[in-house]
Chains A and B, each alone.
Chain A
Amino acid sequence: MVFTGYLNKIHIKSGYIMQECVQARHVPIRNKVFKKASVLNRASLLNYVVALLIILTMNFFIPRLMPGDPLQAIYGNEALLVMTPELQEELIHRFSLDRPLGEQYASYLLSLCRGDLGHSYYYNAPVLKVISGFLPWTLLLTGLALVISTLVGFLLGVESGSRRGRPLDQFLLGGIMLFSGFPDFFMGIMLLLFFGVFLSLAPLSGALTPYAGHSGLMLVVDLLHHLVLPLAALVLVRLTATYLLTRNTMITTLGEAFILTAKAKGCPERVIRYRHAGRNTLLPVVTAAGLQFAHLVTGTLFVEIVFSYPGLGSLLYKSLLTRDYPLMAGILLVLTVVVLTINLLLDIFYPKLDPRVAKCT
């Protein structure tokens, strides 16, 4: 989303790594090096635990800052009116809402471990069950958007960076930066108006044609037909971060000595571009993809609302409109956990991609 941030973060990250490298080289005993590795992994794991705890604590305390008793604060007045006294009793008992705050917190964490996120009064079902029906659509949309925008952004960035200052580079740079200025939901609205309303090429809402009873190949075609506009909106807006990062890294990498060596050897231009420079450029791009994922998830929420795509975004909007607080808190918690998990996976995956990091740490 923001280029300065990514660049700096990555430079700093590689700075850390370099420091570690230098330190590690001075350590003569191999044991110490290995110890350092495990410490670093544990440290990055700790970050995620701390982040999760911050979110959980906020999730717990914000409703309880409200006036009124906890049940009223957590579920809202409308929900209390429709709830039967038995259900109220059960919820108070289940989350020990009549106990001191410390005990409530412990019970909250325990029930989370059981996968109990509370009761959605609008759907009259457990929150987790409601969410699990909507989550796959969001994951499909976000996952595809992440893969496609990273891939296309990387390819365009490589081509553009190796042609710095020439017409194609200028054209791509201007065009892609123009796209990044549109908020996700406005890009969605424009695509919807143009392709959906004006040209009637794509369906206006939903993820599948209802009651069509497609199966096999027809189902896939129908699914893609509904997916293409939301996906295009996300990819067009989210392309920029990867593109700019690739382009800038490409420019610096092309100035390095090993590129000159490759040229002197007589390597073809395309091989230098992708095998020598592109491969090295990929590292910061992967790091950035993790950081970008949080923004991508947020963007998906808005795009889903515009296209009434049956994912968590639409569910969140509905829960905001119906004041279904437990459902809302549950959705946000699930989304944060997804974002944290993806970042953690990338952290684990990163040393495999860059052997230097693995060796250093």
Chain B
Amino acid sequence: MHVNYWREVHTSGPGRIGLGLLLLVAIAAVLAPLLTSYQPAAYTGAPFMAPSAQHWLGTNDVGQDIWTRLLYGARTSLAVGGGVALLSLCLSVMVGCSSALLGGLYDRLMMRLVDALIVIPPVIVAILAAAYLRPNTVLLIVLLSLFLWPGGARVVRAQTLSLKERMPVYAARTFGAGQLHLLFNHIIPDLGPILIALMIQDARRAVFMEAGLSFLGICDPTVVSWGKMMQHALKFVYLDVWRWWLLPTGFALSLTVMGFTFTGFALETALNPRLRKEAGHADN
């Protein structure tokens, strides 16, 4: 039972690639002001300049530095990814754990709600809501979280159901531990690795969806976003600028998503006892 998940993930090939990519994007986002001397919205030179020592990736149609915008765009992507991951995880844990511990009618009602919500495509609802309401980053995070939590709630509920029958929990209950004590001291710590896997999965989907929505023009007009940059760059595809405007932006987005994919895959392999055991055999 005692598997060192961290070691399993960061020693496996995909895990190492994934963590490396995520670290790279995180550094770019955090250290953006140090890595460039321009502001993302400032007009820094002539429009459509080719890459040079001053402008590593050239300038766009209004003379903004593309490299700077790429760095600041990472902030938006990671903020939405992280925000959605945290918020939808909270919802998943709240609903999943409470319905597993309380059971009965409440459990059945909640699981019915989960079953219904899970078939609704989140992007489609977000487009509708964001088109009417004024789109901003916080609203986007809330909207995406509202439709991403059901999958996690199912997983959390199933795990909690099995955890609450385990010896330590049973022993704690005979000593008179309340439901909340059981939840916070026994069940949530044991859920740890699964919660992280869920967060990675939600973050990945959120980054994907944020890019898609801003590609459609549904995003906070004041922030720099990779999706919006690509949509903008696509209008000038008849010029040569796509080489240093469209492609780097797309690859930055893809690398972020791949970082989540590979890390998630490594963690999934470590978490799934069947896959892990087989891997051990293969190594032997």
Flag if B261 contacts A9 (CB, 8 Å): no
Residues of B within 8 A of A321 (CB): 217
Q: Mark B252-284, 1 if CB is under 8 A from A, else 0.
A: 011101100110110110001011001000100
* CA of A329 to CA of B216, assembled, Å: 15
Q: Are B112 and A5 in contact (CB under 8 A)?
A: no
Nearest A residue to B151 via CB reads A5
For A335, what are the chain B residues with a Cβ–Cβ distance below 8 Å? 121, 124
Answer whether A340 and B124 are a contact pair too, CB < 8 Å, given A7-B272, A320-B217: no
B61 interfacial contact with A, CB 8 Å: no
User: How far does the Cβ of A244 sit from chain B's closest Cβ, in whole Å?
Assistant: 8
- Residues in B with CB closer than 8 Å to A165 are 282
Q: Which of A66, A181, A305, A329 is the most central at the interface, judged by chain B CB atoms within 10 Å of its CB?
A: A181
Contact B112 A47 (CB under 8 A): yes
Distance of A332 from chain B, by nearest CB (Å):
5
- CB contacts under 8 Å to A, within B197-223, are 197-198, 201, 204-205, 208, 211-212, 215-218
- Specify which of B216, B217, B254, B264 is in contact with A4 (CB 8 Å cutoff): B264
User: Which residues 47-95 of A have a CB within 8 angstroms of B?
Assistant: 47-48, 50-51, 54-55, 58-59, 62-63, 65-66, 73
Chain B residues with Cβ below 8 Å from A320 are 127, 131, 216-218
Q: Decide if A3 touches B121 in the complex (CB within 8 Å).
A: no
| Chain A residues within 8 Å of chain B by Cβ, number | 69
A298 touches B125 (CB 8 A): no
Q: How far is the CB of B185 from chain A (nearest CB, A)?
A: 25
Q: Give the distance to chain A from B200, nearest Cβ to Cβ, in Å.
A: 8
Residues on A with C-beta less than 8 A from B5 are none
Docked-complex contact B129 and A177, CB < 8 angstroms = no
Q: How many residues of B contact A (CB 8 A)?
A: 58
**Least Cβ distance of B251 to chain A in Å?**
8
CA A210 – CA B154 in complex, angstroms?
49
B212 touches A185 (CB 8 A): yes
B42 contacts A by Cβ under 8 Å: no
A255 to B280, CA, bound (A): 13
Does B234 sit within 8 A of A, measured CB to CB?
yes
Quote the shortest CB–CB distance from B212 to chain A (angstroms).
6
A54-B116, A58-B129 given as contacts; is B264 within 8 A of A332 (CB)?
no
Q: Report the Cα distance A158→B16, complex, angstroms.
A: 26
Given A3-B265, A183-B254, A320-B217: A62 and B133 interface contact (C-beta under 8 Å): yes
CA distance A251 to B282 in the complex (A): 11
Determine if B275 and A336 form an interchain contact, defined as CB atoms under 8 angstroms apart.
Answer: no
Contact mask for chain B residues 116-135; partner A; CB cutoff 8 A; 1 contact, 0 none: 11111101110111011100
- CB <8 Å contact, B116 and A183: no
Instruction: Bits for A128-168, please: 1 = Cβ < 8 Å to B, else 0.
Output: 00000000000000000000000000000000000011000
Q: Which residue on A lies nearest to B108, using beta carbons?
A: A43
Whether the pair A15, B278 counts as a contact (CB closer than 8 A) is no
Q: Which residue of A lies closest to B113 (CB)?
A: A50
Does B242 count as interface, using CB distance less than 8 angstroms? yes
Indicate whether A186 sits within 8 Å of B250 (C-beta atoms), given known contacts A4-B264, A55-B125. yes
Within 8 Å by CB of A183, from B127, B197, B212, lies B212
Of the candidates A66, A182, A297, the one whose C-beta lies within 8 Å of that of B132 is A66
- Verify if B190 is at the interface (C-beta below 8 Å from A): no
What residues of B have a CB within 8 angstroms of the CB of A5 in the complex? 151, 155, 201
Complex: how many Å from CA A9 to CA B234? 38
Docked pose: A146 CA to B116 CA in angstroms: 22
Q: A59-B128, A180-B261, A297-B121 are in contact. Are A50 and B212 (CB under 8 A)?
A: no
For the complex, give the distance between the alpha carbons of A58 and B198 in Å.
27
> Which residues of the other chain, B, contact A193 by a CB distance below 8 angstroms?
237, 242, 246
Is A325's beta carbon under 8 Å from chain B?
yes
Q: Kindly count the residue-residue contacts between A and B in the assembled complex, taking CB atoms under 8 Å apart.
A: 171
- Residue A295 interfacial (CB < 8 Å): yes
Q: Main SS of chain B's interface residues?
A: helix
Q: Given that A178-B258, A332-B127, A339-B121 are known contacts, is A12 also in contact with B154, CB under 8 Å in the complex? A: yes
A46, A197, A336, A343: residue with the most chain B Cβ atoms closer than 10 Å: A336
The one of A8, A190, A244, A329 that contacts B158, using a Cβ cutoff of 8 Å: A8
Find out whether the CB atom of A183 lies under 8 angstroms from the CB atom of B208.
yes
**Cross-chain contact A186 with B253 (CB below 8 angstroms):** yes
Chain A residues near B218 (CB-CB < 8 A)? 320
Is A232 part of the binding interface, using a Cβ–Cβ cutoff of 8 Å?
A: no
B124 touches A298 (CB 8 A): yes
Residues of B within 8 A of A287 (CB): none
Asked whether B9 is an interface residue with its Cβ less than 8 Å from the other chain, the reply is: no
A294 vs B124: C-alpha distance in the bound complex, in angstroms? 9
Given A177-B265, A302-B215, also A294-B120 (CB < 8 A):
yes
Q: Which residues of the other chain, A, contact B230 by a CB distance below 8 angstroms?
A: 185-186, 189
- Kindly report which residue of chain A lies nearest to residue B159, judged by CB atoms: A8
* Whole-angstrom CA separation of A65 from B128 in the bound complex: 13
Q: Decide yes or no whether A2 CB sits under 8 A from chain B.
A: yes
B72 to chain A, nearest CB (A): 19
Q: Give every chain A residue within 8 A of B253 (Cβ-Cβ).
A: 183, 186
Q: Is the CB of A329 within 8 A of B128?
A: yes
CB-based contact B132/A62 at 8 Å = yes
CB of B14 within 8 A of chain A? yes
Complex contact A54–B234 (CB within 8 A)? no
* Residue from A66, A177, A335 having most chain B Cβ neighbours under 10 A: A177
| A40 → chain B closest CB, angstroms | 12
Whether the Cβ atoms of B124 and A291 lie closer than 8 Å is: no
Seed contacts A50-B112, A183-B254, A329-B128; 15 additional CB < 8 Å A-B pairs:
A4-B267, A8-B155, A11-B158, A47-B112, A63-B132, A177-B262, A183-B212, A244-B265, A248-B275, A291-B119, A302-B215, A316-B216, A332-B127, A332-B128, A339-B119
